[in-house]
């Protein structure tokens, strides 16, 4: 009963906020969604994460950390990947061989959909939606209950609420970013000093890269709905 | 492979010596011992050593293979890996160069670091002088990243000496040909990162330092290198150009160095994919530039999946020798297995081993084309990695697999477990991406032989690091006998200089 009550609370929240962004058509060229990400765990502060899309390029950007994970799927079988560090104006580029050597297997549609595409086939589509141009899906997978508000025109979620036990996580799109903002950000990142991931181990003299070597890459998993292997957190297994 | 006359002439004597020795041993040793294949093979090996004649002649040609990051543990694991790929237990296998008659250990420390990077180590091997980390063929009197400080401190390389002697020269690498190891053969720079002009500092530009790609084409020694094959295309193309595989150039100066290559040299050709590489007629081409990737070439394990196709290290080596051997005065060729290092940095043993086997195949290809009477072949590494082969796996246990101890009943079923109750792999790293914060992952049910598996590591790091222990040197051909015992890494240059009469100094 307690679980059901929490579910209703969660769904009620989604209904209340689900329509703040609900486009009827996808903006031409480039667009982005800014999500508010929060968790019910004590001490977990709400954070922002942006999903930026332009053609075959998708980036997940954390304004708080000023870091992005930027995917290129011009050749879907051989994606390119960059970690972007705004503060240092640096970029780490991963070629296909680097991703393979690290065991990273990213699916284009999962990255582009904020890792929600896999949920559609496993959840039940609801008859009503808080948004005229969005579809609502609900259900439970592996003990996690989901409430998903999906935008068919963007092929991305407008909101996701998950609950496992007493822990609730929510991703809520509250702003649609226009093409100028997205293009400007991609152009800025393109100008950053780039380093191939394969070269990092040989460049311990570079203070920025030395930090990468010694401390690894900061994974902002609290923002992402996929893990550091590029797999949706709710599915898959990585070694 | 062509035969070494003095070794062949001694073969009959060697066999006779072995038989005499075994006959004498028979008087004091039981037949259980002397009939053993281990015993007989060992005796034959010693007899061959006894019969071995030193080739003190001059090396008309020198081929120097460098496995980047190919430490001794990598050689052992690759040897087993290759043997098991062929369906054998593996341990008895030998990489192509492990059959060479002479070997030594090389101390790899640089002037300022216990554990070095590829820049000072290749500088030591190619110039005879150790320098500081990050610097290519300039002395330690230079300051890293400071152009002015390096001027006047340039060190002449074995490749440049060969050019001065009228020999043909070449470099081959699976890494970028502007990367530290190949670059140290032809470039002089206080910063290995200056691969394109866009990497130069304002001070470097103001003081007239040129980037490494520019040096290869525009500041080339002698009449220019005859062969340069590998990766790094983007460092040769303007940033306004997108190459045939969709990558942008990195040059800000507008120079298309691939075009300059053809303008600069006679009978020159530039290729960037497998088909173009295959179509090159070596009889009509005197200067060949091949850039098969925007950055490093593919790992050998992934090479077949490349967009435009790219040649193997063995294919590049073979074509390079065909190109260089046209010169009656001989040649100097450096071949790097450049991606062994990168796979190790990623904590991915399978790719590191596959690329080590690719280097072994390249050596084999060279052996099939040269006469060891006048060609010195050296195989070594710049530095090692924190790569380990551990536990007590049974003979023939899959080298990439979990450790199964030599217990007849359990070997096929149960993996050995550590104190934490979890199984472990034979191969591991002291540090790197394969480490976890906290408890180790349970590898039960995980396919650790998968090419993408990251071996577990002790210390969590974003990139696995180099290691400081000695690496091996293997040699055959004229002057090879000079490699004995434990030597400083810069001794390699002096052997090449001596054996090849390169004129760097008189001995």
Does the CB of A97 have a partner CB in chain B at under 8 Å? yes
Q: Do B197 and B264 lie in a common domain?
A: yes
Who's near B36: CB < 8 A, 6+ residues apart? Answer: none
- Report the SS3 class of residue B323: helix
* Known binding residues of B for Mg(2+): 68, 179, 181, 336
Q: Note whether A201 contacts B452, CB cutoff 8 Å.
A: no
The alpha carbons of chain B give a radius of gyration, in whole angstroms, of: 24
Among B295, B306, B430, B468, most A C-beta atoms within 10 A, so best to mutate, is B295
Q: Do B478 and B376 lie in a common domain?
A: yes
Does the CB of B305 have a partner CB in chain A at under 8 Å? yes
Please indicate, yes or no, if residue B55 is contained in any of the structural domains: no
DSSP string, chain A: -HHHHHHHHHHHHHHHHTTSS--SSPPSSEEEEEEEEEESSTT---EEEEEEEETTEEEEEETTTTEEEEEE-SSTTS-EEEEEETTTTEEEEE-HHHHHHTT----HHHHHTTT-HHHHTTSEEPS--SSTT-EEEEEEETTEEEEEEEETTTTEEEEEEEEETTEEEEEEEEEEEPHHHHHHHHHHHHHSEEEEGGGGGG-TTSHHHHHHHHH-PPP-TTT-SB-TTSSBTTS----
Q: What separation, in Å, do the N-terminal and C-terminal C-alpha atoms of chain B show?
A: 31
A-facing residues of B in 218-237 (CB < 8 A) are: none
Among B249, B463, B465, B466, most A C-beta atoms within 10 A, so best to mutate, is B463
Q: Is A43 left (phi over 0), alpha (psi -120 to 50) or beta?
A: left
Please indicate, yes or no, if residue B10 is contained in any of the structural domains: no
Q: Note whether A198 contacts B454, CB cutoff 8 Å.
A: no
Please give, rounded to a whole number of angstroms, the shortest distance from the CA of A155 to a CA of chain B.
26
Q: Do B298 and B327 lie in a common domain?
A: yes
Instruction: Look at residue B22 in the predicted model and tell me its pLDDT.
Output: 58
Does the CB of B464 have a partner CB in chain A at under 8 Å? yes
Please indicate, yes or no, if residue B42 is contained in any of the structural domains: no
Compute how many other C-beta atoms are within 10 angstroms of the C-beta atom of residue B45. 11
Please give, rounded to a whole number of angstroms, the shortest distance from the CA of A40 to a CA of chain B.
25
Question: In terms of Cα–Cα distance, which of A152, A125, A120, A148 is closest to A24?
Answer: A152
Which residue reads 């390079």 in tokens? B320
- Report the SS3 class of residue B387: strand
A contacts of B298 (beta carbons < 8 Å): 96-97
For B304, the closest chain A residue by CA position comes to A97
Among B342, B349, B385, B454, most A C-beta atoms within 10 A, so best to mutate, is B342
A contacts of B446 (beta carbons < 8 Å): 239
Instruction: Look at residue B39 in the predicted model and tell me its pLDDT.
Output: 96
Q: Do B333 and B434 lie in a common domain?
A: no
Q: Do B149 and B186 lie in a common domain?
A: yes
* Known binding residues of B: 68, 179, 181, 336, 341, 345, 382-383, 466
Going from the C-alpha of B373 to that of each of A82, B55, B101, B351, B394, the distances in angstroms are 50, 7, 14, 35, 41
| Average per-residue pLDDT for chain B | 93
- What distance in Å separates the CA atoms of residue B329 and residue B319, rounded to the nearest whole number? 18
pLDDT tens-digit profile of B388-399?
999 999 999 999
**Mean pLDDT in residue range B188-214:** 97
Q: Do B307 and B362 lie in a common domain?
A: yes
For B133, the closest chain A residue by CA position comes to A205
Does the CB of B300 have a partner CB in chain A at under 8 Å? no
Angle between helices B37-51 and B5-26 (to 10 degrees): 130
| CATH, domain range A31-217 | 2.50.20
Buried b (16+ CB within 10 A) or exposed e, B180-216: bbbbbbbbbbbbbbbbbbbbbeeebeeeebbbbbbbb
Who's near B438: CB < 8 A, 6+ residues apart? Answer: none
- What distance in Å separates the CA atoms of residue B26 and residue B24, rounded to the nearest whole number? 5
Contact A205, A212 (CB under 8 A): no
Angle between helices B118-127 and B491-500 (to 10 degrees): 30
What CATH number is attached to the domain comprising B215? 3.40.720.10
- Give a three-class secondary structure readout of B229-271: EEECHHHHCECCCECCCCCECCECCCCCHHHHHHHHCCCEEEE
Most confident of B77-91, B294-308, B444-458: B77-91
Please indicate, yes or no, if residue B264 is contained in any of the structural domains: yes
Residues of B assigned a catalytic role: 118
Please give, rounded to a whole number of angstroms, the shortest distance from the CA of B317 to a CA of chain A.
22
Q: Note whether A100 contacts B452, CB cutoff 8 Å.
A: yes
Which domain range does residue B477 map to? 61-386+465-500
Does the CB of B299 have a partner CB in chain A at under 8 Å? yes
The pTM of the full predicted model, rounded to 2 decimals, is: 0.88
Q: Do B75 and B90 lie in a common domain?
A: yes
Reading the block at residue B216, the tokens are 């290869």
Q: What is the largest CA-CA distance in chain A?
A: 59
Instruction: Look at residue A15 in the predicted model and tell me its pLDDT.
Output: 47
Q: Is the pLDDT of residue B506 over 80?
A: no
What is the percentage of chain B residues whose pLDDT exceeds 90? 88
Instruction: Look at residue A14 in the predicted model and tell me its pLDDT.
Output: 52
Q: Note whether B144 contacts A102, CB cutoff 8 Å.
A: no
Give the residues of chain A that fall short of pLDDT 70: 1-19, 41-44, 215-239
Who's near B69: CB < 8 A, 6+ residues apart? Answer: B340, B341, B342, B344, B345, B352, B381, B382, B383, B384, B385, B466
Q: Do B459 and B471 lie in a common domain?
A: no
Going from the C-alpha of B63 to that of each of A181, B55, B198, B329, B333, the distances in angstroms are 54, 16, 33, 14, 5
For A104, the closest chain B residue by CA position comes to B452
B contacts of A214 (beta carbons < 8 Å): 461-462
Contact B452, A101 (CB under 8 A): yes
Please give, rounded to a whole number of angstroms, the shortest distance from the CA of B266 to a CA of chain A.
34
The residues facing A239 across adjacent strands are: none
A-facing residues of B in 423-452 (CB < 8 A) are: 433, 441, 443, 446-448, 450-452
**Among the partner residues A101, A105, A197, nearest to B299 by beta-carbon distance:** A101
Residue B416 is classified by DSSP as -
Does the CB of A96 have a partner CB in chain B at under 8 Å? yes
Q: Note whether A96 contacts B463, CB cutoff 8 Å.
A: no
- What distance in Å separates the CA atoms of residue A214 and residue A194, rounded to the nearest whole number? 19
A contacts of B134 (beta carbons < 8 Å): 205
Please give, rounded to a whole number of angstroms, the shortest distance from the CA of A174 to a CA of chain B.
34
- What distance in Å separates the CA atoms of residue B104 and residue B100, rounded to the nearest whole number? 11
Who's near A93: CB < 8 A, 6+ residues apart? Answer: A80, A81, A82, A194, A195, A196, A197, B295
Instruction: Look at residue B492 in the predicted model and tell me its pLDDT.
Output: 98
- What distance in Å separates the CA atoms of residue A104 and residue B427, rounded to the nearest whole number? 20
Instruction: Look at residue B271 in the predicted model and tell me its pLDDT.
Output: 98
For B298, the closest chain A residue by CA position comes to A97
**Mean pLDDT in residue range B238-249:** 93
- What distance in Å separates the CA atoms of residue B156 and residue B298, rounded to the nearest whole number? 31
Q: Do B417 and B381 lie in a common domain?
A: no
**Among the partner residues B246, B298, B462, nearest to A217 by beta-carbon distance:** B462
Q: Do B397 and B331 lie in a common domain?
A: no
**Among the partner residues B246, B293, B452, nearest to A74 by beta-carbon distance:** B246
Please indicate, yes or no, if residue B442 is contained in any of the structural domains: yes
Q: Exposure of A192 by Cβ count < 10 A (0-12 exposed, 13-18 middle, 19+ buried)? A: middle
Q: Do B368 and B239 lie in a common domain?
A: yes
Reading the block at residue A206, the tokens are 């570079």
Q: Note whether B462 contacts A202, CB cutoff 8 Å.
A: no
Q: Do B344 and B448 lie in a common domain?
A: no
Question: In terms of Cα–Cα distance, which of B439, B341, B331, B336 is closest to B376?
Answer: B331
Does the CB of B383 have a partner CB in chain A at under 8 Å? no
For A96, the closest chain B residue by CA position comes to B298
- What distance in Å separates the CA atoms of residue B366 and residue A16, rounded to the nearest whole number? 72
A vs B: CB pairs below 8 A: 104
pLDDT tens-digit profile of B492-501?
999 999 999 9
Number of domains in chain B: 2
Which residue reads 């030597």 in tokens? B487
Who's near B304: CB < 8 A, 6+ residues apart? Answer: none
Angle between helices B349-367 and B72-85 (to 10 degrees): 80
Which residue reads 């010596």 in tokens? B17
Q: Note whether A239 contacts B446, CB cutoff 8 Å.
A: yes
Which residue reads 């998950």 in tokens? A162
Does the CB of A75 have a partner CB in chain B at under 8 Å? yes
For B445, the closest chain A residue by CA position comes to A239
**Mean pLDDT in residue range B15-28:** 60
Ranking A102-111, A144-153, B201-210, B214-223 by mean pLDDT, the lowest is A102-111
Among B201, B434, B452, B466, most A C-beta atoms within 10 A, so best to mutate, is B452
Q: Note whether B460 contacts A216, CB cutoff 8 Å.
A: yes
**Mean pLDDT in residue range B250-265:** 97
HSE (side-chain half, CA atoms, 13 Å) at B311:
26
């Amino acid at each position: 009963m307690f679980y059901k009550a929490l579910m209703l609370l969660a769904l009620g929240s989604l209904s209340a906020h689900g329509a703040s962004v609900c486009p009827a058509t996808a903006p031409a060229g480039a667009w982005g969604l800014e999500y508010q990400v929060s968790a019910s765990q004590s001490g977990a502060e709400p954070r922002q994460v942006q999903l930026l899309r332009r053609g075959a390029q998708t980036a997940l950007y954390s304004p708080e950390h000023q870091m992005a994970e930027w995917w290129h799927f011009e050749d879907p079988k051989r994606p390119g990947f960059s970690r972007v560090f705004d503060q240092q104006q640096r970029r780490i580029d991963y070629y296909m061989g680097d991703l393979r050597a690290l065991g990273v297997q990213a699916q284009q549609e999962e990255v582009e959909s904020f890792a929600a595409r896999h949920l559609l086939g496993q959840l039940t589509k609801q008859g009503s939606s808080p948004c005229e141009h969005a579809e609502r899906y609900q259900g439970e997978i592996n003990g996690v209950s989901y409430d998903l508000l999906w935008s068919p025109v963007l092929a991305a979620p407008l909101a996701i609420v998950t609950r496992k036990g007493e822990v609730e996580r929510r991703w809520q799109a509250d702003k649609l970013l226009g093409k100028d903002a997205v293009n400007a950000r991609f152009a800025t990142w393109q100008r950053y000093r780039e380093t191939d991931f394969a070269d990092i181990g040989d460049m311990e003299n570079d203070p920025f890269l030395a930090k990468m070597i010694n401390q690894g890459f900061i994974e902002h998993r609290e923002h992402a709905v996929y893990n550091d292997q590029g797999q949706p957190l709710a599915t898959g297994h990585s070694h | 492979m062509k035969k070494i006359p003095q070794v062949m002439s001694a073969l009959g004597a060697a066999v006779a010596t072995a038989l005499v020795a075994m006959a004498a041993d028979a008087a004091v040793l039981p037949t259980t011992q002397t009939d053993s294949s281990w015993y007989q093979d060992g005796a034959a090996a010693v007899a061959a050593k006894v019969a071995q004649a030193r080739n003190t002649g001059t090396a008309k040609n020198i081929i120097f293979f460098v496995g980047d990051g190919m430490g001794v543990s990598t050689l052992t694991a690759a040897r087993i890996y290759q043997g098991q790929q062929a369906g054998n237990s593996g341990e008895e296998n030998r990489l192509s160069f492990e059959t060479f008659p002479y070997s030594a250990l090389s101390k790899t420390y640089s002037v300022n670091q216990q554990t070095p990077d590829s820049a000072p180590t290749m500088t030591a091997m190619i110039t005879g002088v150790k320098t500081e980390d990050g610097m290519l063929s300039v002395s330690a009197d230079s300051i890293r990243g400071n152009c002015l400080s390096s001027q006047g401190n340039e060190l002449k390389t074995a490749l440049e000496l060969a050019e001065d002697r009228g020999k043909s020269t070449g470099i081959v690498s699976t890494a970028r040909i502007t990367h530290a190891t190949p670059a140290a053969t032809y470039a002089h720079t206080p910063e290995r990162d200056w691969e394109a002009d866009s990497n130069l500092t304002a001070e470097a530009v103001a003081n007239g330092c040129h980037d490494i790609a520019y040096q290869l084409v525009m500041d080339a020694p002698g009449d220019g290198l005859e062969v340069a094959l590998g990766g790094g295309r983007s460092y040769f193309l303007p940033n306004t150009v997108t190459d045939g595989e969709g990558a942008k150039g990195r040059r800000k100066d507008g120079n298309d160095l691939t075009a300059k290559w053809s303008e600069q040299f006679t009978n020159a050709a530039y290729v960037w994919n497998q088909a173009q590489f295959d179509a090159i007629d070596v009889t009509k081409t005197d200067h060949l530039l091949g850039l098969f990737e925007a950055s490093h070439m593919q790992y050998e394990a992934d090479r077949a999946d490349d967009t435009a196709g790219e040649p193997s290290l063995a294919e590049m080596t073979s074509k390079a020798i065909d190109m260089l051997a046209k010169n009656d005065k001989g040649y100097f060729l450096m071949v790097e297995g450049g991606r062994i290092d990168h796979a190790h940095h990623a904590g991915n043993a399978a790719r590191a081993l596959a690329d080590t086997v690719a280097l072994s195949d390249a050596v084999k290809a060279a052996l099939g084309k040269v006469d060891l009477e006048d060609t010195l072949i050296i195989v070594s590494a710049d530095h090692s990695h924190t790569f380990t082969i551990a536990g007590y796996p049974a003979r023939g246990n899959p080298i990439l697999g979990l450790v199964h101890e030599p217990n007849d009943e359990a070997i096929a079923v149960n993996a050995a477990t550590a104190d934490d109750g979890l199984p472990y792999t034979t191969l591991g790293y002291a540090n790197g991406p394969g480490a976890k914060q906290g408890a180790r992952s349970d590898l039960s049910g995980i396919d650790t032989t998968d090419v993408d598996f990251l071996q577990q590591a002790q210390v969590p790091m974003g990139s696995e690091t180099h290691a400081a222990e000695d690496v091996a040197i293997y040699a055959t051909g004229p002057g090879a006998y000079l490699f004995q015992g434990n030597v400083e890494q810069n001794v390699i240059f002096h052997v090449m200089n001596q054996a090849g009469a390169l004129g760097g100094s008189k001995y």
